[in-house]
């Protein structure tokens, strides 16, 4: 078992000892099958799992729901939208945990949901802790890279983190795009977005270089749209690369933005 995977299991187990884990995979498969503690198994219905957990969170508990796959987020969309629509009613916290496959785009989530994306080992634990600390509903997406030992550098909280310094350009990376950006040589700062869509926060990062390449986990178009106001005063048009396009595509984009 990798160190990142083991660390997340230990944190989930510690949480389950005093709180509760809800879902169709509890006791059967997935991460939460191995954590012990307080478990509530639901029918094979993501909406039912989110509904049960929402009730617990409304009552002040901090339930965690592990979904088997990303399609579960789509199937639970209505229940998630209902929960996200009344954040002030929650005395507790609901965290929805799901794996983010390398070949998947980031899911479109209902407005009002906090989405955190773990892209480096250790960050899943840091973002899990950050999600539990804020009342309301959060979704935590965990990539394969976040559970292996190839890159490191977890930071507390859930703000964007500069993983590598650079002066020529800024690589705004997310999910599996973080590992790709760190592996690509060049005078470029690498900023791990971790799910952040606050254009003012991101704007402070990109202002340092004035040149940006988005390195999305999947299709970067929604990311570009969400952060558009952060790119108004750039020295070059922002470019975008899909993590699956690989190092060669990112190297070309970086060279293009540096020479523009």
112 CB burial (10 A radius; 0-12, 13-18, 19+): middle
Amino acid 24: pLDDT: 56
Amino acid 241: pLDDT: 93
Amino acid 13: pLDDT: 67
At 238, phi and psi to the nearest 5? -65, 140
> Are 70 and 105 within 8 A, CB to CB?
no
> Would you give the DSSP letter of residue 145?
G
Q: For residue 120, which of 163, 85, 71 has the smallest C-alpha distance?
A: 163
pTM (2 d.p.)? 0.85
Amino acid 220: pLDDT: 83
Residue 66 CA to residue 31 CA, distance in Å, equals 8
3-147 against 161-259: fold identical: yes
CATH topology of domain 161-259: Rossmann fold (3.40.50)
Amino acid 37: pLDDT: 54
Amino acid 149: pLDDT: 56
* Superfamily holding 3-147: Thiamin diphosphate (ThDP)-binding fold, Pyr/PP domains (3.40.50.970)
Amino acid 175: pLDDT: 93
Instruction: Spell out where 25-135 has E strands.
Output: 39-41, 64-66, 93-100, 114-118
- The tokens of 181 are what? 């950006």
Q: Where are the domains of the chain?
A: 3-147, 161-259
* Strands ordered across the beta sheet of 161-164: 161-164, 188-192, 169-173, 212-216, 239-242
Amino acid 162: pLDDT: 94
pLDDT tens per residue, the chain (260 residues)?
Answer: 455 556 676 776 676 566 766 665 544 445 555 555 566 666 677 888 888 888 888 888 888 888 877 888 888 888 888 887 877 778 888 888 888 888 888 888 887 788 999 988 778 888 888 888 888 888 999 888 887 754 455 577 789 999 999 999 999 999 999 999 999 999 999 999 999 999 999 999 999 999 999 999 988 888 888 888 888 888 888 999 999 899 999 999 999 999 98
């Amino acid at each position: 078992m990798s160190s990142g995977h083991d660390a997340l299991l230990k944190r989930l187990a510690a949480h389950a000892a005093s709180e509760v884990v809800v879902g169709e995979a509890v006791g059967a498969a997935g991460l939460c099958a191995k954590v012990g503690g307080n478990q509530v198994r639901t029918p094979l219905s993501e909406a039912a799992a989110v509904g049960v957990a929402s009730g617990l969170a409304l009552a002040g508990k901090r339930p965690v729901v592990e979904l088997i796959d990303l399609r579960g987020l789509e199937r639970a969309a209505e229940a998630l939208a209902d929960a996200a629509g009344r954040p002030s009613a929650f005395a507790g916290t609901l965290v929805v945990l799901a794996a983010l496959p390398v070949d998947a785009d980031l899911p479109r989530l209902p407005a009002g949901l906090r989405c955190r994306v773990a892209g480096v080992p250790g960050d899943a634990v840091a973002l899990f802790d950050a999600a539990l600390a804020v009342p309301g509903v959060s979704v935590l997406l965990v990539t394969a890279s976040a559970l292996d030992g190839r890159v490191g550098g977890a930071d507390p909280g859930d703000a964007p983190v500069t993983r590598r310094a650079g002066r020529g350009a800024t690589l705004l990376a997310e999910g599996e795009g973080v590992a790709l950006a760190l592996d690509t040589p060049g005078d470029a700062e690498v900023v791990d977005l971790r799910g952040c869509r606050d254009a003012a926060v991101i704007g402070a990062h990109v202002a340092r270089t004035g040149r940006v390449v988005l390195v999305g986990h999947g299709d970067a178009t929604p990311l570009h749209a969400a952060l558009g106001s952060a790119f108004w005063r750039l020295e070059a048009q922002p470019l975008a690369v899909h993590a699956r396009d690989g190092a060669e595509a990112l190297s070309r984009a970086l060279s293009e933005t540096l020479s523009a």
